[in-house]
Amino acid sequence: MTMRKELSYPAYTKRKRVKGIARGTILALLLAGILLGVAPAGRAQNDRVLSLASSATHYPVDLYLDYFEDTAGTLTIEDVASPDFPGRFVPNADTVPNFGTTSSTIWVRLQVANMDAGSDDWRLAFSDALLSHIDFYAPAIDGDGFVHQRGGYMVPSVERPYSHPQYIFVLPLATGDTTTAYLRMQNDFALQFSLTLWPAAFFEQHNVTYFLLLGLAYGMLLFILIYHLFVAASVRTTEHFYFLVFLACAIL
């Protein structure tokens, strides 16, 4: 016959306290898991809106972009901007969005809130992108439809909104306003890009440095080309001829 060992009152109280602590810990962990599972979803929705403040000179916007792949290429701005469409956009998680070589049309959405950035005039700039067709749609100031701007290497420079080696688009956004802009992109090669939003004044300052460095680079290439023209005239070798052709193509 097995004898059951009776616990003393202090031992029984201690065991009961340990069980209570264990139950409380498990409940706390379960509650924390629920909160962690729910909180990111709420934050993710808010984090899709880029808030502009006066403390920054420019804003990388890639992580605030949402995209939709239009495989048929038939959607219009009225389609993607309709109240029934937003749930079909996918949040971008790449610092440099890359869709590879695709025949699809890529729609990109950017939501911006101008809290108090000290500027009502903005520039959305592509960085070192090579895209054939870009359509930019910004809401009209009077709220009636969208203002359409075009870019890309297949679009003549006179039809672009901004004269610049890169693709630049004008975005009016008054202090206190929130807006949603859209980009429609197509390309014959890999579709990859990076976007930065600038206050117009800071963008013009940035341009001074940009064109200065660009001028120095072209000046050095031109100097090397002229120097090797004299060398080629004296040595007359095939290697120098090909090198001169390469330099001329690089400058052009």
pLDDT > 70: what percent of the chain?
79
pLDDT digits (tens, 9 = 90+) for 38-77: 333 333 345 789 999 877 889 999 999 999 999 999 999 9
Cα dihedral across residues 226, 232, 235, 241: positive or negative: positive
112-136: burial string, b at 16+ Cβ within 10 Å, e else? bebeebebeebbbbbeebebebbbb
pLDDT digits (tens, 9 = 90+) for 184-215: 999 988 999 999 999 998 888 877 776 677 77
CA pair distance 208, 219, nearest whole angstrom: 16
What is the DSSP secondary-structure string of 159-180?
GSSS-SSS-EEEEE--TT-EEE
For the ranges 19-23, 114-118, 234-238, 246-250, the one whose mean pLDDT is highest: 114-118
Q: Which CATH architecture is the domain 50-200 placed in? A: Sandwich (2.60)
What are the structure tokens assigned to 24, written together? 């409380």
pLDDT digits (tens, 9 = 90+) for 121-135: 999 999 888 999 999
pLDDT digits (tens, 9 = 90+) for 154-170: 999 889 998 888 899 99
Per-residue DSSP letter, 228: H
CA pair distance 234, 117, nearest whole angstrom: 60
pTM: 0.70
Q: What is the pLDDT of residue 23?
A: 56
59-60 and 195-199 beta bridge pairing: antiparallel
Contact 29, 70 (CB under 8 A): no
